[in-house]
Structures are given as C-alpha cells and as structure tokens.
Structure 1
C-alpha cells in the first residue's frame, strides 16, 4: 500500500511539474512576443533607445532600405550578426529582476515586457521548487522502494523454493 501511495504522490508531483513547465514556456513566449511588439513599434521605444538607434544606424536603415528588407539591413550593419541581447533580457537573471525589471528607459515603457519577465521568473521559481521536490521525493522513495523490492524478492524466492520442494 505504501508503494501505491508513493506512486500516486509521484504522479501528482509529475503533473504539477508539467503544469509549471507549461507556465514557464508560456511566460517565455510572452517575453518574446513583448520584445517583438516593442521592437516593431517605435512608439514603445524609450527616448534614450530611440536616440541611440537613430545615432547608431537606425537612420541608415531608412537610407538603405530601398534595396534591402529592414531586418537584413540591420544585420548587415552589425557585421552580419545580430547584436547580442543586453543582460536585462536574460529572463532568468535575478540581478535584473531585483533591480526592478530592467534598465532605465522612459516611464511606462516595457510594461508588457516587465510583466512577462516577472511572470517568467515566478514560473521558473515554481518549476525549480517542483523539480527539487520531485528529486527529494525520488530519493526518499528510492530507499523505500528498495526495501519493498528486497522484501518482494525474498518472498518470491521463498515461494519458488516451496514450489521446488513440492514439485515431483
């Protein structure tokens, strides 16, 4: 009976872990979607980011845009590689989250991105907790199951021995 309770507990923990994993994936997708929205909508750019983009080559996109797709020109401007994301978009970064969500930016900018990052952080914490619980439960069940397996083996060996004695 203890084995079936342990198996039921393991199933519950696996279902909870699956739910946390799905929440984490949805939150990560929300981050990407929010980033896409912000990158595609210049009105959402902070004034410092927009000024830096204009000074750093976004204006060049307009000058060269007649021959190339917007994204391709942007990539060519940076030597063929997209710029690496700034540390704030490392959604699992506790330092950025502890600092209030992100860098400077204009007030009100990045609201959906900040919400998505917060949702992701909460989902990751829940997923990590779930994984740790499954791991510790598996260790506990492992020792219990080993004892149960050992008892079952002994019982089966005794039964086999008894059958051999009664066999012709």
Structure 2
C-alpha cells in the first residue's frame, strides 16, 4: 500500500507542478522554439517535464519512503542534473559546464550513495576482474556516459522513459 500511495502522490505532485510551471515557463523563456530543421512543433513548447517529474519523485520519496543518506544523495545528484538541464535549456550552456555538472552529480552518487563499479564480473572467464583503484574513475566515466546516452535518445518522445521502465521491469523480474 505504501508503494501505491507513493506513486499516486508522486503523480499528483508532478501534475500540480506541470500546471504551475506552464505559465512560468513562458515568462522566463524556458521554451523549445521551432526551428524548421529538427522540430515538428509549430509553436514554442514549455520545457518543464523533467522538472515536474523530478518534483513528483522527490515529493513521493520524501512523503512516504524511509530515506537513508544514500537515497538523499541519489536525489541530490538527480536534482543537480535536473537543474543543469533546465539551465542548459534556457541559457545553452557550454559542453564544459555541462560535463562539470554531470561529473559533480556522478561524484555525489559515487561518494554519497556509495554507487561504484567494483568489478567487471567474470568478463574474461577466469574469475572476477576487480577494478581496485580504477573503480571510482571508471564509475565516473560510466555514469557520465549513461547520462549523455539518455540525453541523446531523449529527443524521441517517450523513448528514454520507455527504456528506463523496461530496464526496471527486467531488473525486477
């Protein structure tokens, strides 16, 4: 029942945020404008979906779930990515600034939430390939790589979210 309450309250919070952020997005210029090259829409479209979804996840997590420091660092790292994405959408940040923000988010997850690749498993067939001192740098590269991979496919409606749900479903199964 706790999971259902968390999901429903997250959805409600995201919906409320969408309704509230919609007019604000026009006032502050957080819009995707048509350019006739890659974009099919004819009018500016608010870029608020990620903010609303993150706000919903944050609300549902804080209201209903027991949060450890690891969870809080994961939420903080994700929040940094959402803020970075919103600033990039509005101000077109340079590659270096985006890379720095993504790296900071990854480091929050690595050191705050103890997210780390310790080994490559039995990759070579003769026992685990332990990473040792390379664990943190390789984890950083992997996280920043995944962030950018999802960012590349995010332009196709629903693809990034669908892949995430499929991955979650496979992991649960």
TM-score bin, normalised by smaller chain: under 0.3
The two structures have a TM-score, normalised by structure 2, of 0.24
The two structures have a TM-score, normalised by structure 1, of 0.25
Structure with more helix by fraction: 1
Larger radius of gyration: 1
